[in-house]
Structure 1
Amino acid sequence: MVNPLTYVFRRKVTEKFDFSDAELEALGSELKAEVNQVFGSSLAIRELDSGSDNSTEIEISNLGTPYYDVERFGISFVASPRHADVLLVTGAVTLNMAEAVIKTYEAMPSPKFVIAVGNDACDGGIYKGSYAVLGGVDKILPVDIKIPGNPPTPKEILRGIFALVKKASK
């Protein structure tokens, strides 16, 4: 018979986890410098789900966790499109959501920027050709940056936001 205390005192097997990511820190400090210069100290993003499977939203939510903490880079997510600089659209645009997407875009102040995040938002993804789906966001809105992936990682999303900020600075 096995003594239960052996499970308590024996060495635990876990994966090695680095608490800092040099690539993320470098990208973040570059991003913060650009955001300060182009948008005046903060970039406000409104995330809009236009008919996704929520995998991309999970990765976007990860940007707010202590590991990524995008607020320290000058990026914040806002509840109202009236406060947003960028519209971050996820999911293929369904027929039911097309009007809501357009109204959200129209409620934003100028200049307006749109980022399509994930394969579904970029071109319709696996829902392309469905009777209930218009396709990617570019079918109804001018898209500035597309971030492909199913879903893209938080770092890829940050790189896409950085590309948008670089594009806006020109």
Structure 2
Amino acid sequence: MIQHIIARLRQGHRTLPYPKRLPELPDRYPGRPEIDPSACTDCPGPCALACPTGAITQRDPLSGGLSLDLGRCLFCTDCAAACPRGAIRFTGDFRLAASRREALILRGQPFETALPLPPERLALFKRSLKLRQVSAGGCNACELDINVLNTLVFDLGRFGIQFVASPRHADGLVATGPVTQNMRLGLEKTWQALPSPRVAVAVGACAISGGPYAGHAESADGCAELVPVDLYVPGCSPHPWTILDGFLRLLGRGETG
């Protein structure tokens, strides 16, 4: 027994102290992109041609300039590599979650991170949020990064957030995948089984926009038309810190720096 105690003392505290302190991510992690539309005047648009999901628009209907849709972005960084003028760069910032779909479309404005739930729902869920996750045709990447939140490094349970087996026991739905036709009914039934008031979270590019499967006959292009999404967590797949940051911001408990 004494040997086990000594080994445990040597290991120390493994759970990272987020949100009190920001995690250190590797240099290869791209993070949230930033764009400079002013650098794109009269550019032929190699960044848009390099994007595999059409996330980049050279002439955005609202701004008339460059825009980048984080909801469709796979974070492959091919656009930044193709841009000859440095109009797109990846910042390494993992804080990507947003409350509005429109907030994921970058046009050079400051990024609008996710906001807390309305007060009446926040009062119910702030200290205890039970979630049912549905993989609606996902490749298992987003699902794995959600699952890793239960490990001691992230320790999702310390925030009162837990994943449950039955929608009858859940306060919210976490959807991943592009919502294939085979999983459309399953997602809808899961949402209907959740007691009101309830929360909906879309995790990953596929769940937000369909990702690389957008426009396919067997894809619903994400879950937004099937459930009223409260939180969008972009990425392919989102980093676990990105997902956790989104959950905490939804509950008004996120890092504010």
TM-score, normalising length: structure 2: 0.52
> Given that residues 128 and 135 in structure 1 are in contact (C-alpha distance below 8 angstroms), is that contact kept between their aligned partners in structure 2?
yes
The Cα of 1:112 is off from its aligned counterpart by 1.1
Residue 131 (structure 2) aligned to one of 45, 61, 69: 45
Q: Tell whether 2:16 aligns with 1:21.
A: yes
- Uncovered stretches (5+) of structure 1, i.e. residues with no partner: 1-17, 28-35
Percent pairwise identity: 40
Q: What is the RMSD computed on CA atoms of the aligned residues? A: 2.4
**Structure 2 residue aligned with 1:118:** 204
Distance 1:101 1:161 in 2: 20
Residue 159 (structure 1) aligned to one of 213, 224, 245: 245
| Over 4 Å off, 4+ runs | none
Distance 1:166 1:19 in 2: 25
Figure out how many residues of one structure are paired with residues of the other and give that number: 143
The Cα of 1:163 is off from its aligned counterpart by 2.5
> Given that residues 121 and 136 in structure 1 are in contact (C-alpha distance below 8 angstroms), is that contact kept between their aligned partners in structure 2?
yes
> Given that residues 145 and 163 in structure 1 are in contact (C-alpha distance below 8 angstroms), is that contact kept between their aligned partners in structure 2?
no
Write the mapping of 1:1-170 to structure 2, written as runs, cut at 5 A: 19=14, 21-22=16-17, 24-26=18-20, 38-39=124-125, 41-166=127-252
> Given that residues 14 and 152 in structure 2 are in contact (C-alpha distance below 8 angstroms), is that contact kept between their aligned partners in structure 1?
no
Distance 1:40 1:147 in 2: 19
CA 1:164–1:149 in structure 2 vs 1: closer, same or farther (change >3 Å)?
same
Distance 1:93 1:64 in 2: 24
**When you count helix as a share of all residues, which structure comes out higher?**
1
TM-score, normalising length: structure 1: 0.77
